Amino acid sequence: MTKTYIPTIDISSLIKNNFETQRAFKTIKEIEKACIKVGFFQITGHGINLKVIKKTCGVGNKFFNLPDSKKRKLSPNKWNKKNKNLYRGYFPNDVNGKEGLDIGDLKVTKKYSSNLNNQYIEHLNLGKCLNKSSISILNKYFDNIYRLSETLFKSVIKLNKRNPDISGKAFSRLKTLSTLRFNYYPNQTKPVEISKQDGVALGCETHVDSGIFTLLYQDRKGGLQVQNRKNKKWYDVPFNKNALVVNTGRALEFLSKGKFKATNHRVLWNKSKRLSVPFFFEPSYDFKMNQSFLNGSKFKNNGQIYEKFLNKSLKKFIEYQR
């Protein structure tokens, strides 16, 4: 295993969304290289204060330390028949060895969700389990990580010599299917899966992500591994308290015509508790997945809507069989 396989990129030149400077261009080319060769990279200079990240992790840890009956107040209908939500919320660790909390855009109100009547746009009443201070912390983090994700997507658009502002056609805040997730790995008594490839015990199965990018904060216990697409070897993603881990997903692979491939990753079995906080940057539910969006030609407003693209992708995940 070597730590140098996963590149680290300082993206501070992109934070103000000025993609015209020489330094910004160099950074974008580094992102392109990392996406093509590895599919994973770490970013520093991302503009999200470490204190904000630590407070966000603190909210997650506080939630998972609640009694099971309290946590299930946020569960989808499958695990709490009193609730109407099907997609957002808490899933218990007897599903696939880890607990999770899936949160959509916190700006989505109950009224908006009800009027829209979309299967993935759900209002989750976090007040059932969290106080106002904790909800405020989550709001701030969601805003920050969403803006950062959009900046990365705009850099990909810029690579294709298109106006970065067209990202607004793919991402509309109240319609986006983006998810802030807390993954909590308890003291697992047995692995979730034994890798058929190399016999390694896993705490999270080998998989690829569905969206454009995933931006992850992992704690110092680590355990995340990335597969080299050519030699099929696995490489550790090292812990860096100042960095966020970024990987490409199936939606970006599709829009880029396979240039940026979604990459296999997994989590090693770890007997000690572990928390990770991924943000899945997903387009608006009604965004039409057409490959002309990124290729520099005039965008053709047709194709499968992202909601259906995601629905197909989620079928392979046990925790989403709701």
Q: Where do we find the tokens 């805003």?
A: 143
Q: What is the pLDDT of residues 305-319, one digit of tens each?
A: 999 888 877 666 555
Written as six digits, the tokens of 221 are 């216990």
In angstroms, the CA 118 to CA 127 distance is 22
Report the C-alpha dihedral over residues 242, 71, 74, 79, rounded to 10 degrees.
Answer: 120
Report the C-alpha dihedral over residues 131, 319, 259, 305, rounded to 10 degrees.
Answer: -80
Q: Which pLDDT score, from 0 to 100, does residue 185 have? A: 79
Q: Which pLDDT score, from 0 to 100, does residue 245 have? A: 95
Classify 34-320 by CATH class.
Answer: mainly beta
Q: Which pLDDT score, from 0 to 100, does residue 117 have? A: 83
In this structure, the strands spanning 8-10 and 40-44 are parallel
Backbone Cα Rg of the chain: 19
Beta bridge partners of 40: 247
- From first to last of the 322 residues of the chain, give the pLDDT tens digit: 345 789 999 999 999 888 999 999 999 999 999 999 999 999 999 999 999 999 999 999 999 999 999 999 999 988 999 998 888 999 887 766 678 999 999 999 999 999 998 888 999 999 999 999 999 999 999 999 999 999 999 999 999 888 999 999 999 999 999 999 998 877 666 666 666 665 565 656 678 888 999 999 988 777 788 988 888 888 888 889 899 999 999 999 999 999 999 998 887 767 667 888 999 999 999 999 988 888 866 667 777 899 988 887 766 655 555 5
Q: At what angle do helices 22-37 and 132-159 cross, to 10 degrees?
A: 90
Q: Which pLDDT score, from 0 to 100, does residue 2 have? A: 44
- How many CB atoms within 10 Å of residue 233? 14
Q: Which pLDDT score, from 0 to 100, does residue 203 have? A: 56
Half-sphere exposure of 322 (CA within 13 A, CB side): 23
The answer to whether 83 and 75 are in contact (CB under 8 A) is: yes
Written as six digits, the tokens of 169 are 């056609």
Q: Which pLDDT score, from 0 to 100, does residue 202 have? A: 61
Beta bridge partners of 194: 201
Q: What is the pLDDT of residues 186-241, one digit of tens each?
A: 766 666 666 666 556 565 667 888 899 999 998 877 778 898 888 888 888 888 98
For the chain, give every domain's residue range.
34-320
At 307 the three-state DSSP class reads: helix
Q: Which pLDDT score, from 0 to 100, does residue 86 have? A: 86
Terminal CA-to-CA distance of the chain, rounded, Å? 37
Q: CA quadruple 278, 279, 285, 288: dihedral positive or negative?
A: negative
The answer to whether 146 and 178 are in contact (CB under 8 A) is: yes
In angstroms, the CA 192 to CA 183 distance is 14
